[in-house]
Structure formats: structure tokens, C-alpha cells
Amino acid sequence: MSRIAILSALAQEQHGLLALLLQPQKVQRAGRDFWLGHLHGHSVVLALSRIGKVAAATTATALIEHLAVTRILFTGVAGGLAPDVQVGDVVVASSFVQHDLDASPIFPRFELPLYGRAVLACDEILSALLFQAARDHLAEASAAAPARHRVHRGLIASGDRFVSAQAQSVTLRRALQRAGHKALAVEMEGAAVAQVCLDYGVPFAAVRTISDRADDQAHLDFATFVREVASQYACAIIGRALRSLSNK
Ligand code: ADE
């Protein structure tokens, strides 16, 4: 039977989904709590990735090895990196890169040693599904209260750093651009989960709501946004995606 994992980095992003979970059952592995249950007709497991690449990779591995998940979705927040990606926008990943991976001069900067690539593609079908769900959600939300938030789809950069200065953000974006990578947003887990999913052949996709612009204001914007908006977005977008996904 198919079982979908829904990962979030923070408890505030997960609590709305947890409240909707039917027949919840908690199991513990690798020092983590995993919530098994049903959501919109699917067998699911909700989990916190924890923060940073190693923690997220451990969580993804535990989900695959011990809880037999067949697909992984990630929902959370990210900092906007491209100039047109603003707070309140949604970014659906088409692929991920690790912005802090640098084994040069042995391998080109950003390339995953022995993988022969820097960019890890998301599952095309799941990514398209999240994109449509995010667009539908924002269209409905802006009909109720007009807003100009946009849904983007493209590359997300992950690394073990909360980017909280304009200078860092510009440096990061330029370094990626020089290597041919146009990153829309930055966060701290997605590329690690994508790498584990590639290793195991498990389809993976991710949606991130932009909580800040990865600039000097980032830590202030982040806290408010996560508290007030992130959980609702996660519930609404994941809910729509699950409803239009076959549970075979
Ligand atoms: N997640 C949300 N905002 C972020 C930022 N500015 N840097 C890294 N991860 C983030």
C-alpha cells in the first residue's frame, strides 16, 4: 500500500495538518516522533524533518527504512532569493542544489561528489501537483482578500545557514548564478531530503512559502510569518494536493 510522508521543518508548520489527521498513531524512530494516520483518503505519516541538512537526511532515511513511505512531500517556509520572490509568495521546487557544498578544486563548486551533478530534480508529477494546488489556493485566497502573491516554480538552494543579511543573500545568489544556477529561494533541508530520495528511488517534491527576503530583516519576518501564516498554507496546499492525488 502507498504511504505518503509529509515533512515540515518546524512544529508550527505541522500543527494544522496534525489536527486534521484521522486515526493518529505515534511511533518513535531515531529519536523522532512520527504520526501515522489518514488524511484526505491517503495513508500518511507526518514528521518534523528537524532543522538543517543532516537532521533532515536522517528523518528521510528513517521514513523510508522504517516506515515504508513511498512518496515524500515537504512543506515549510523559505527565504526569497530571486528579486521577484516576495514575502507571501509560494515557491514549488522543480529541483534543489546545496549552496554550501564546495569540494573544489577536486569537483566543481556545488557538485555532489560522485553523483556527477549539482542539481537534484524533484518528481515531475508531484511537483506539478503541488504547483497546481498552490495556484488554486492563492487564487481562492485572493478572491476573498485581494493580494498579489505569486506562485513560482524552480530551483531552491539549501544549506546549513539561516541567511539573515542582504550581503550574504546577494553573495549567495551571485555565486550560484556564476555556476549557472538561478535559485528562487533558500532554506535548510530540501536538498538533503532530495538526495536521500534519489538514493532510494523515492519520489519527492516540496512547497515553500516565502517568510522573509533572506536579508537583514529576515529573523523578524520569519518569526511572525511562521506563527501566523505557515501552518494555514501548509494545510491548504497539501490538502488540495492530496485530494487530487490517486491513493493507489
Ligand atoms: N527558511 C526561511 N527563511 C530562511 C532564510 N532566510 N535562510 C535559510 N532558511 C530559511
Write out pLDDT tens, residues 1-22.
Answer: 699 999 998 888 888 899 999 9
More reliable by pLDDT, 247 or 235: 235
Domains of the chain: 4-246 (3.40.50.1580)
The binding-site residues of ligand 1, defined as CB within 6 angstroms of any ligand atom, are 77-79, 162-164, 186-188, 211-212, 214, 218, 222
Does 102 qualify as catalytic in the annotation? no
Write out pLDDT tens, residues 176-231.
Answer: 999 999 999 999 999 999 999 999 999 999 999 999 999 998 888 777 878 778 88
| Closest ligand 1 atom to 161 CA | 8
In sequence order, the 6+-apart residues with CB closer than 8 A to the CB of 12 are 226, 227, 230, 231
Write out pLDDT tens, residues 40-93.
Answer: 999 999 999 999 999 999 999 999 999 999 999 999 999 999 999 999 999 999
Q: Check if the beta carbon of residue 204 is closer than 8 Å to that of residue 194.
A: yes
13 Cα: distance to centroid of ligand 1 (angstroms): 14
The confidence score (pLDDT) of residue 141 equals: 84
Cell of 151: 506562485
Whether the pLDDT of residue 246 is over 80: the answer is: no
73 Cα: distance to centroid of ligand 1 (angstroms): 18
Give pTM, 2 decimals. Answer: 0.95
| Closest ligand 1 atom to 163 CA | 7
Does 84 qualify as catalytic in the annotation? no
Which residue's CA is the nearest one to ligand 1's atom 2?
78
The confidence score (pLDDT) of residue 80 equals: 97
Q: Check if the beta carbon of residue 100 is closer than 8 Å to that of residue 175.
A: no
Tell me the best of 53, 74, 187 to mutate to test the pocket of ligand 1, counting ligand atoms within 8 Å of each CB and taking the most.
Answer: 187
